[in-house]
Each structure stands twice: as structure tokens, then as C-alpha cells.
Structure 1
Amino acid sequence: MIKSFLEFPLMGILRGVEISYIEELVKTLINSGLKVLEITMNTPRAEEIISLAHRAANGRIHVGAGTIVCEKSLTSAINAGAEFIVTPGYFQGVVNSCVQKKVPVFPGAFSPTEVFSAWQSGASMVKLFPAGVFGPKYIKELKGPFNDIKIMAVGGVKKENMREFFNAGASAVAFGTSVFSKELLLKKDFTAIGTMVNEYVKEIKNIIGENN
């Protein structure tokens, strides 16, 4: 999963979605070209949603679980079929368990100490959150002493600024409510969501093409 994510470094984050339409939404995301999808565990019926999404994806999208804050929720997520784990902060016990289970993990971090500690603990990539607070410049500064650490920018990422994050040294980016807004989800406007996701996908392809 990590190899394919590094080759196409774009993740979508779903929070607060409903089980009634998750299969249709996943199919929309597949058709839009998305390859990696996080579903947060603080979503009602998250385990069931992850399981349904995983089956609907059928290997065409990597489905993982986010907002994992303890080993209990980690176990629930893995049992539901989560292929990778994302945390909002650096929780060493969760990271250690993922490393032992050989499950890709993206722990959240913000300060230089947190970023370094998360990476040293065996993170597949460090989730810099909230990346929008200081923007791409902060990643550039972090990559000075930590040039080997892979960083995923989360929070404040938009289609218009993705290129800046990569130019600053990010290895991946993730988007959430900028595309998966409550309004569009309530209306089940999957056409609009699919169109926006495809715009992100096209921009990533352009960035990848320029860097190769």
C-alpha cells in the first residue's frame, strides 16, 4: 500500500458519512480516480462503514481508518478491514501496535519533536496536522533537519495549493471537507463530489509528471 501511495500521493478523508450511501460514494470515488481513502472512527457506525467501503472498493481503493486514538479503536478498525491507520496526534502505543502488526500507520504530529518521534517509532509517513496553520513554508523548514522523513500534509490542503506543499517537500497530501462538505453529502450530490475529486486527481498527475 505504501509503495502505491507514494506513487500516487493523494488521500481523501471521509468524516460523518452515512452507511446508506457509502457504497455508491466509494464507486464514485473509484470512477474519479482516487486511490486511497480514510474513514474516521468518530463517524457513527464507523466499523460497518469501513467494512462496506472495503468490500465495495474490491482492491481498487485502499480503505483505511482515521482518528484512531487508542488500541481499542485500532483493533476495531483492523477487524473491520482497515488497510492502514491514521491518528490525529502521536500516540506511541498505537504506532507500536501497528508496527508489530505490520499495518501501515500515519501518526499525526506538528512540532519538530513530535514529527521526529513519530518517524523514529516506525511511522510509514508522518501526518503533519494541521498543515494549514503555517502552510508549506513550515514543511520546508522541517525538511531542513529532517530531510529523510516522509511527511503528509493534512488540514488546509486545496487543489490550488497542493503544488506548494509538494514543492516544500511533502511526500503526500490529503483533503477532506473542502470536497466532502456536509451540504453535498446531505444532498447526496455525488456528481459534484466526483467532479471535484477528479480535479484533485488531475492536479496530482500533473505534479507527478513534472517531478519525474
Structure 2
Amino acid sequence: MTTLPSVVVILRGLDPDDVLSATDALREAGVGAVEVTLNSPNALTSLARLISTHPQYMVGAGTVRTVRHVRAVAELGARFVLSPHTDAELITATKNHGLLSIPGAFTPTEIEQAWNYGADVVKVFPVHTVGPAYLRAVREPLDNIPLLACGGLTAELGRACLAAGCHALGVGIGLLDQRAVRERDWPAVTRAARRYLEEIRG
């Protein structure tokens, strides 16, 4: 089993300064990992600064769609790679660099395929369009594959996904407190993240 924590907060659309501030707020709340998406402004700069500032923290890259980007984030010291899709070449490159591979999939066929390609965890996305009943049904025949639920995960839905057997959740920071993120109210982000963690644990 991987060492991926139960909640990975997704940092999408934030500039490098805000990525650092947001991560500090999330760490204070007890969040175990963050994902910086590569379609964010200056994402590689954000990753470099974040990893150098918190070298022991679990930082990964998201929305990774090319082998070139896998190489770039590996050189910066990222611990894991998430993709919106399943690509054998990306998974192989990720594993060759010693990173956790978390490709995206949706159907049972895609999930099994990602696992057979070497994924450590398979991201099921977008979960909010189908709900936890779908995850529970998928888990019945594929119970050996750790799943990360992602997409529109409110605390209520996140708790239900964990109850359905998911290994982890990918949660957009805006779902914690969109206003606080927009206004850079980082203490409020800490409170929202702490509340989210409490609520998903029931």
C-alpha cells in the first residue's frame, strides 16, 4: 500500500506566493499532502519553491499530461504525479523516476488498465457525477486497487467515498472555503481545512 495520506488538497490557479501561503495554512490544519496543478500560473516555480521550503512535506504535481513534465517535476523533487487520464508511457516514466503514479480513470476497464500499467493509486474522476454508490460497485470486483476519489468532493461526499472503500480523496482548495482563498484569508483556510478533516472522519 502506498503512503499517500487520506486527503490531498489540490492547488489549482494559485500563483507561487499563494501556493506557499495556502500550503502553510493546510499544514497547520493537518493536511498531509498537496498537489500543484501544472495548468496553474508558474506551476513549476510554485513546485520548486514549495519543495525547497518544505522538503519533508508530501508535494505532488497534478494535471501532468506529458513525459517531459514528469521529468521536470521529478527533478524538482515532487513525490507523486496525478493525471486526468491513463497513459502507459506517463505511468512508466513516473515509476522510473521513483514517484507515485496516480493516473485518472473512470470505468472499470480504465481503472484495471491503469493498475496493470503500474499505477500505485487510480484517481476516479469526476466522482460527483456518479456518487459513492458507483465507487462501491466498482470496488466489489476491483477491491485490490486503491482508489483516489476526485471531483466536487464536499465533506459529505468525501466521507461517503471513504465509506465506499476509497483509499484517499483529492479535494480542491476552493471546496474548503472559496471566499477565504479568493481573499487570501489563510487563517480561515486553516479553519476550513480542519473542519473538513473532522467532518470526513465522522
- TM-score band by shorter chain is over 0.9
From 125, 132, 154, the equivalent of 1:129 is 125
SS of the aligned residue for 2:160 comes to helix
- Residue of structure 2 in register with 1:76 after alignment: 72
Q: CA deviation at 1:180?
A: 5.9
CA distance in 2, matches of 1:57, 1:32: 15
Distance of aligned partners of 1:54 and 1:180 in 2 relative to their CA distance in 1, 3 Å threshold: farther
Distance of aligned partners of 1:163 and 1:134 in 2 relative to their CA distance in 1, 3 Å threshold: same
From 126, 142, 146, the equivalent of 1:150 is 146
From 44, 48, 51, the equivalent of 2:48 is 51
Correspondence 1:35-184 to 2 at 5 A: 35-59=32-56, 61-176=57-172, 177-179=174-176, 181=178, 183-184=179-180
CA distance in 1, matches of 2:164, 2:21: 36
Q: Is the 8 A contact 2:9 2:31 kept in 1?
A: yes
Distance of aligned partners of 1:9 and 1:156 in 2 relative to their CA distance in 1, 3 Å threshold: same
Q: CA deviation at 1:150?
A: 0.7
Identical amino acids, percent of aligned pairs: 27
Q: CA deviation at 1:122?
A: 1.1
Q: CA deviation at 1:143?
A: 1.0
CA distance in 1, matches of 2:6, 2:187: 23
SS of the aligned residue for 1:188 comes to coil
Q: CA deviation at 1:128?
A: 0.2
Q: Is the 8 A contact 2:74 2:97 kept in 1?
A: no
Gaps of 5+ in 1: 208-212
Gaps of 5+ in 2: none
Q: Is the 8 A contact 2:148 2:167 kept in 1?
A: yes
- Residue of structure 2 in register with 1:2 after alignment: 2
Q: Is the 8 A contact 2:124 2:148 kept in 1?
A: yes
